Amino acid sequence: MAPLAPLLTEEVWRGLSGGRSVHLTDWPTLDAGAAGFVGDVLVADDALVAAVESARTVVSQTLALRKANKLRVRQPLRSLTVAVTDPDGVAPFASLLASELNVKDVRLVEFSPAVAEEYGVTERLSVNARAAGPRLGRGVQAVIKAAKAGAWTTADTGAVVVQTDDGEVPLEAGEYELATVVSEAAGSDVAAAVLATGGFVVLDLALDDALLAEGYARDTVRDVQDARKAAGLQVSDRIALALTVPAEWVAAVEAHRELVASETLAVSLTVAAGAERTVTVVKADPAK
């Protein structure tokens, strides 16, 4: 418990053992047969660590795509394609990814150049002439030309190497920029990003009426939660909820009436058309 509750466990441990600090002790081991376990309590699992790191990177990059395309997290999206070297390792986290990123479907595929080509995902190398010029001299123009032609690779160390007529030219940090691009054939309703752990993500940005309706309902829930807080209600308090929304969004709220009611603990909900969205919350009688 010490890493998760450092202060509490420190007090408990000192009280029980009289020792200096729980944070200075070694991880415990269990004797053979104790509680059905043998050996170390914490066993290294490199595959699990790599899978979790990959999942964390997917979340980070996908949230960045949402932000770049001005799509709030409360707005659900149709799908996310995740291409990684170990899709089976990430598979147990698929539902978590869907929840964190608010997408209806997470598709896991094994990363390969062929898969990247299938999804129209490529990396574009841009050379910063001002940064690379002092080191490369006149050769910087040849490097820029080769980079634009796609004559470059990424070494095992992560360094970028450009192939010019005069040979290979490695670039240093700050001398270039890598950008993930999606071919025009893939359409304008997708965005992609390369993962630092290997692979890429492709986010479907297309919004239909059903997705927009759910997004509006979730925004409404946020407004109701703010109104509850402003009214000084406790987290467990039930409410009677009255909403006024623009006429074109009445059907959206009605379609997601159960979501709005359950998320806000509303025992009753009325929806009326009006000029703008307004929220009225009244603490419900617990006896009813």
pLDDT tens string 203-219: 999 999 999 999 999 99
Give me the count of residues in the chain: 288
Band (pLDDT 50/70/90 cuts) for residue 41 is: low
Residue 138 CB neighbour total at 10 angstroms: 7
Which residue, 117, 129, 125, is CA-closest to 147? 125
Q: Please, what sign has the CA dihedral across residues 214, 215, 216, 222?
A: positive
Which residue, 181, 241, 191, 248, is CA-closest to 67? 191
Residue 50 shares a structural domain with residue 113: yes
pLDDT tens string 270-281: 999 999 999 999
Q: What is the structure's pLDDT at 46?
A: 86
Look up the pTM and report it: 0.71
Residue 64 shares a structural domain with residue 197: yes
Residue 85 shares a structural domain with residue 196: yes
Residue 202 shares a structural domain with residue 214: no
Q: Report the pLDDT averaged over residues 81-98.
A: 94
Residue 191 shares a structural domain with residue 143: no
**What is the distance between the alpha carbons of residues 185 and 20, in angstroms, rounded to a whole number?**
65
Tally of domains within the chain: 3
Secondary structure (3-state) at 32: coil
Task: Please state, rounded to an integer, the average pLDDT across all residues of the chain.
Answer: 89
Secondary structure (3-state) at 285: coil
Q: What is the structure's pLDDT at 52?
A: 93
The pair of three-digit structure tokens given for residue 233, joined into one six-digit string: 């209600």
Domain span at 197: 46-119+184-207
Residue 223 shares a structural domain with residue 109: no
Band (pLDDT 50/70/90 cuts) for residue 6 is: very high
